[in-house]
Structure 1
């Protein structure tokens, strides 16, 4: 088995990171440095209010953000107004602020609320988890930063794009609720505020499949569902509805689900519900993909993707005047996002923004002229 490969691709406003194992995508991150996720960040924060019913306390952080410190992570015995040194252990998500944990340090911390140190980003976290993995990036600044942290022998720099077309397509697929399955069928993923529902659809051949074929389809689909849960950073309560099996037969697939979930230490198989749904629970850490990108993709995500694709196309036409045609909402989102348009300008030259109220979602593009 070949050593894992970590690919780091930079584009205006974003950093995309992929972990490949034997050529298969096993981890995927989109990070936006203008507003980092914050996992591992070290802060000085003030205990603003105790929350006994929630077994913890709310802390006031830099920038007006509010984090939650559980009693089990250091809030127990702490009083309101006390200054604490804390680290972010779970990113803000689902309308809730970040989860925190107390961290020791020299001397008693004092205000004001402030960020002391940024935590590692996805390339560094993956490099630590996979010490034999080589990192390859298409961004010179990223290469220099990663070499300083990991050593020059682990980090390669290439002027060619780090992501090939297949990997770009795989990342695009993570922004879609539908996942095609080999041999027909599909997964449909529905995140809600309460839970994530995943439906296995046998496809057009459903009526022609016998019980053994449905079992094989569901076994393969459960493996892909576990992979999609991990790639999309889905968490909390997760229910999977299998295809074409009576409730009494579904219990036999629990060992297959347990095997598919085993490589993910955050994913726990609960069992089968009374309606025959597989019930899972996954620990929340990173923002789920549908909150980062949007489902369907948000105006910001569509704009950043247009800049990413436009930067590649611009390399083939150096010096040509460039125009981004997009809806007013997309252009407004890019203007408001820190650094994205400036980064494109530095890499490819001036970019004229052309608003088109009739531009359909997904058709935003950078073109010459």
Structure 2
């Protein structure tokens, strides 16, 4: 049976889907103080028509600008200048989160309930009417057979209200064990070891993501079947990493060695590995011998959220997570966060992060600035 795990820590929610073999099948990172906005309902104002782009730009709450394609306006597609006009207010929903320097993608095709909810909101300028569902709810609706387990009492109550009490269990211990935590640590870096040797090297760029198969010691073998086995494992793991990391856009996969004819035999296994991911599709084997994959952009990719390398905010939130675990294991102690100025600034700028840390620790967290330090460390402080 599939299982959804939701782990809450100061400033972050981490949601994982485990398949029937208890293997990580999907992962979502959310920062509730700075949500990505997917599924949010807005009242937005048309600021500029863009016929050349077949759409329009809309002003949203908080000063953000979204893009509305003409294909997402009304029941029948028509030129954008005929469908809407500048200055008009529209009820819209976010269908793609802002990412890669581009604003959110919008649709004006709402359900009757969504349209009624926007219409019932107080009159005024651009406004956020309702937040979209959190990742745990999206996964629960996509996998109705899955049970959900969380280590957060407030989130358990919220999810029980939406899914029913029988489907949501509250854990008094962290729901992510050491094996899951170790795998999540791998998602923050470019290297993924392969079973039996070799590794994947993942290199995101603004234009595309390149995934390279490094055969390691197998590269020197004279056994062509060993190389084929390695690459078979590599294409399966590449498809899994693409989904876990929310990679999107153009993705190129270069397998290790193999003739063009032998590379072509991997197209079927790669397509099968990508099949459970509705956002991804294999375009084929290109003239350079690279597998070309296209994945729809919905959420920001994980490397944008975490930073590449880890951003000061990600370093600080990881330290707060460690502090919360230490405090749960050893209650009644005082803790301090020793960090670079950029880390403390990033934490202070994320709404709720430091307040949630103080609540988890049961005492205010002492912040110690160390200009020469890189990253952040948590340490126990003496009483008195």
Specify the TM-score bucket, using the shorter chain as the normaliser: over 0.9
Alignment of 1:1-369 (within 5 A): 3-21=1-19, 22-74=21-73, 76=80, 77-104=83-110, 105-106=115-116, 111-348=124-361, 349-361=363-375, 364-369=376-381
Contact 2:72 2:109 in 1 (8 A): no
Cα distance in structure 1, aligned partners of 2:145 and 2:274 = 24
Aligned residues: 365
User: How far apart are residue 350 of structure 1 and its match?
Assistant: 1.4
Cα deviation digits, residues 105-141 of structure 1 (max 9, x gap): 2459964100111110000000000111111111110
Which is further off, 305-314 or 244-253?
244-253
Cα distance in structure 1, aligned partners of 2:128 and 2:41 = 6
Cα deviation digits, residues 312-339 of structure 1 (max 9, x gap): 0112222212111121211111111111
User: How far apart are residue 170 of structure 1 and its match?
Assistant: 1.3
Cα deviation digits, residues 215-255 of structure 1 (max 9, x gap): 11111100000000000000100000110112343122111
Q: Kindly report structure 1 stretches of 4+ aligned residues shifted beyond 6 Å.
A: none
User: How far apart are residue 209 of structure 1 and its match?
Assistant: 4.8
Contact 1:135 1:154 in 2 (8 A): yes
User: How far apart are residue 256 of structure 1 and its match?
Assistant: 1.4
Contact 1:334 1:340 in 2 (8 A): yes
Contact 2:218 2:227 in 1 (8 A): no
Cα distance in structure 2, aligned partners of 1:35 and 1:57 = 25
Q: Per the alignment, in what secondary structure is the counterpart of residue 148 of structure 2? A: strand
Cα distance in structure 2, aligned partners of 1:114 and 1:222 = 44
User: How far apart are residue 265 of structure 1 and its match?
Assistant: 1.3
- Quote the residue 2:77 is aligned against: none
Which is further off, 92-101 or 159-168?
159-168
Q: Structure 2-normalised TM-score?
A: 0.92
User: How far apart are residue 357 of structure 1 and its match?
Assistant: 3.0
Contact 1:218 1:243 in 2 (8 A): yes
User: How far apart are residue 360 of structure 1 and its match?
Assistant: 3.6
Cα distance in structure 2, aligned partners of 1:253 and 1:132 = 32
Which is further off, 88-97 or 331-340?
331-340
Q: Per the alignment, in what secondary structure is the counterpart of residue 314 of structure 2? A: helix
Cα distance in structure 1, aligned partners of 2:201 and 2:279 = 22
Which is further off, 13-22 or 325-334?
325-334
Cα distance in structure 2, aligned partners of 1:209 and 1:111 = 72
Cα distance in structure 2, aligned partners of 1:196 and 1:111 = 42
